[in-house]
Chains A and B, each alone.
Chain A
Amino acid sequence: MLAREKPSKALRWLGKQLFNRENPAAFFDPLLESLNPMWVRGYTPARVEQVLKETAETKTFILKPTQRWSGFEAGQHVNICTEIDGRRHTRPFSLSSSPVLWQEQGVITLTIKRLPGGLVTNWLHDRLEVGAVLGMSDAFGDFLIPEPAAPVLFIAGGSGITPILSQLETMATQDYRAPITLLYFVRTHEDVIAGSQLNALAARYPALTLNIVATHLGASPRYLSDKDLDTVPGLKARKAFLCGPRGLMELAEHLLRGRGIRQSDIHCTFFAAPSAGLSDQAVGGQVQFTESSLEVGSQGDANLLEIAEAAGLSPRYGCRMGICHQCSCRKTSGTVINRLTGQPSGRGEEMVQLCISVPQGPVSIEA
């Protein structure tokens, strides 16, 4: 969800009385938006100040959120809302700048790599221009710098470097007193994101050991191995932070566990492309009903309404044929197929009609 203002109790009462909404200011948003999108009250607007090219596939977007935004901690993420062809899409991205930059200059940065075939990342790369205004959520996530200071091992892959950039900048500014090692895996040296920034950090911040590994130089790929971990002094005492493609994360977790590092000392976060492999025809999957804390499996083309009812839930419904929208619920993640159109949904958060939505793989529903 996008960050919403929480107006005072009196304002909420007045909003309900006069405008049938909790935030009376949001009534005027359609007018304010056409005057200046940054005046919108219904969500947190953020203006694009600058767009920098990092690599062929990666850009850094410098954003200026409205002053009432609540800020963030290094390693956290935000949901960004874009409108593409009339549809709003919400996607999470890691903040790549340090919170100090927000506190001092009121700007944040997002470093975003194109996902092959990805609707939102490609739109951001191709269509988003300086001066445009996006919707933004509060920051979230617990991929946070350890307090008190402890030795840290970062293992990043590709665009997984972004939350770590924020953390390294913050640690350098705070002069974080513990050894830090970054193992950064990229396909080739052209794929290094923020290379000069990383080198500058390593130069001015002696606690940081930087090791950038190109995996696809030789004939066969060179992945993370025990040898890489051997180069990290005092490995056992380190808190590990992993961010990157699923394969790298699973490999790293396996190797670290093999070295006797406790699960509680391994922190993971990833926003990778969905694992391919589901054919268009494959339907069914695990369905999680978050408000009822219930998870059930489904097979075949049972729709979400039938699945919920079979699981003993009684969601609101009406016509059961896709007309009345009584059963619309918020899907927080996963893909569903619309039974009327045969079209798959996006992966992100959106409203779906339960009675005509068939899960394709794991799906989370707020019901």
Chain B
Amino acid sequence: MKRMTEAQLSELEQDFNAIRDQVVADLGERDATYIRRIVRLHRTLEVAGRITMPFGFIPPVFVGATLALGLSKIIENMEIGHNVMHGQYDWMNDSSLHSQSYEWDTVCTGESWRRTHNYEHHTYTNIIGKDRDYGYALLRLDDDEQWRPRHSLQFINYILLSVFFQWGVGLHELESERIRRGEIRVKDKLPFLKDFFRKGGRQAFKDYVFFPLVTLPVAPIVLAGNIGANLIRNLWSSTVIFCGHFTQQAETFTEAECEGESRGHWYLRQLTGSSNFTGGKWVHLLSGHLSFQVEHHLFPDLPAHRYPEISEQVQAVCQKHGLPYNTGSFARQYGSVLKRIAAFSLPDRIRTRLPALSMAHAT
């Protein structure tokens, strides 16, 4: 990471604070109208998907219904749930859009998400050993973690994680790697597991039992469509999230670097540990504006639809301080994620000798 003096960091802090203050001062009806429109879009898609799914014996209807339900889940998880739970709309004082009471349409409970994502991941972003989102304690994505033989097959793990992403996210707080290492006991995690099974049970009951049962003659079609919708959401959200921190340019940090850090250093770490990808309006909406991961990590509680608007200002601050602003096309960023997963599945002595993977040097 670029070294900056305390004075430079303090200037960086002021520059980013200025962007933040300007948006906060401008929050109002436009943001409320925006998020309510998205909520209506979600409800419309979900109702449409559920109603048309039983007619899925007509192939085009099946495709349409599955897509509608899949999109509704993506929008609810990414643009509504994730962002609302960050407190982006708390200022509206609307209890249906409040961070602490929102419960989203996925296996992971809102409570667990607020702890592991809002607090741990967003406070300790990319600090190896503290940010458990880094590789999800499943993948080796950095040479700070020692290579082990099981890492050679981590690409398979990655694919499995993507397919069952909502279950993986739901189980994240179990900290299975620490249980394996004997640092904590399963018993300590019983309250978490109870919540996990309750919420996971609900999600499975709704999509795989309730809606197929109420449409009994066509139950297999509804079941297949619901599985398809969940799969679409899982693959997409996993892909978006991996593009956010695991591109080859995204930096990692050690605990020592971040001890007692200033707000300026925190900004710097958020900036250099995140990566954006470009795309059309719909790409941004469906990614919950995590395509502006840099802006999101700098300002996690500003309404996400504001990120495209402040992107230029953020880039100007980066330029002023000679800092990288990590962005690229979706294909390029995702390609570099896949490369990173592949590269670090190899022992370092082989990895560093392969020219094709030379970009994947240790950070």
Chain A positions within 8 Å of B, measured between CB atoms, are 16-18, 20-21, 26-31, 34, 42, 83, 85-90, 318-319, 321-326, 328, 341, 350-351, 353
Chain B interface residue count, CB cutoff 8 Å, equals: 43
- Shortest distance between the CB of B100 and any CB in chain A (Å): 5
Stretch binding the partner chain, chosen from B114-122, B152-160, B283-291 = B114-122
* Chain B residues near A319 (CB-CB < 8 A): 119, 122-123
Contact in complex: B90, A29 (CB < 8 Å): no
Contact in complex: A87, B210 (CB < 8 Å): no
Contact in complex: A328, B202 (CB < 8 Å): no
- Shortest distance between the CB of B97 and any CB in chain A (Å): 10
Contact in complex: A351, B98 (CB < 8 Å): yes
- From the candidates B21, B28, B119, name the one contacting A324 in the complex (CB within 8 A): B119
Within 8 A of A (CB), among B52-110: 86-87, 90-94, 96, 98-100, 103-105
Contact in complex: B90, A351 (CB < 8 Å): yes
Contact in complex: B92, A86 (CB < 8 Å): yes
Interface CB pairs A-B, < 8 A, 25: A17-B202, A18-B206, A20-B104, A27-B43, A29-B96, A30-B36, A30-B40, A31-B43, A34-B40, A85-B28, A85-B29, A88-B92, A88-B93, A318-B118, A323-B118, A323-B123, A324-B119, A324-B300, A325-B86, A325-B90, A325-B118, A326-B114, A326-B118, A328-B90, A341-B24
Q: How far is the CA of A142 from the CA of B30 in the complex (A)?
A: 40
Contact in complex: A325, B100 (CB < 8 Å): yes
Q: Does B33 contact A (CB under 8 A)?
A: yes
Q: How far is the CA of A17 from the CA of B98 in the complex (A)?
A: 20
* Chain B residues near A353 (CB-CB < 8 A): 87
Contact in complex: B87, A328 (CB < 8 Å): yes
A31-B29 CB under 8 A given contacts A20-B103, A328-B100, A350-B93: no
- From the candidates A17, A30, A85, A341, name the one contacting B205 in the complex (CB within 8 A): A17
Contact in complex: A31, B100 (CB < 8 Å): no
Contact in complex: B90, A86 (CB < 8 Å): no
Chain B positions within 8 Å of A, measured between CB atoms, are 21, 24, 27-33, 36, 39-40, 43-44, 47, 86-87, 90-94, 96, 98-100, 103-105, 114-115, 118-119, 122-123, 202, 205-206, 210, 263, 266, 300-301
Contact in complex: B99, A21 (CB < 8 Å): no
Contact in complex: B114, A324 (CB < 8 Å): yes
Contact in complex: A86, B123 (CB < 8 Å): no
Query: By DSSP majority rule, is chain B's interface helix, strand, loop, or mixed?
Result: helix
- From the candidates B92, B105, B119, B210, name the one contacting A318 in the complex (CB within 8 A): B119
* Chain A residues near B122 (CB-CB < 8 A): 319, 323-324
Q: How far is the CA of A85 from the CA of B25 in the complex (A)?
A: 12
Contact in complex: B300, A323 (CB < 8 Å): yes
Contact in complex: A351, B100 (CB < 8 Å): yes
Contact in complex: B99, A328 (CB < 8 Å): yes
Contact in complex: B43, A325 (CB < 8 Å): no
The residue in chain B whose Cβ has the minimal distance to the Cβ of A318 is B119
Q: A86-B92, A87-B28, A326-B115 are in contact. List 18 more A-B contacts (CB 8 A).
A: A17-B210, A20-B105, A27-B43, A30-B36, A86-B27, A88-B93, A88-B94, A319-B122, A323-B123, A323-B301, A324-B87, A324-B114, A325-B301, A341-B24, A350-B93, A351-B93, A351-B98, A351-B100
Q: How far is the CA of A341 from the CA of B22 in the complex (A)?
A: 10
Greatest chain B CB density within 10 A among A322, A328, A350, A353 is at A328
Contact in complex: B32, A324 (CB < 8 Å): no
Q: How far is the CA of A17 from the CA of B206 in the complex (A)?
A: 6
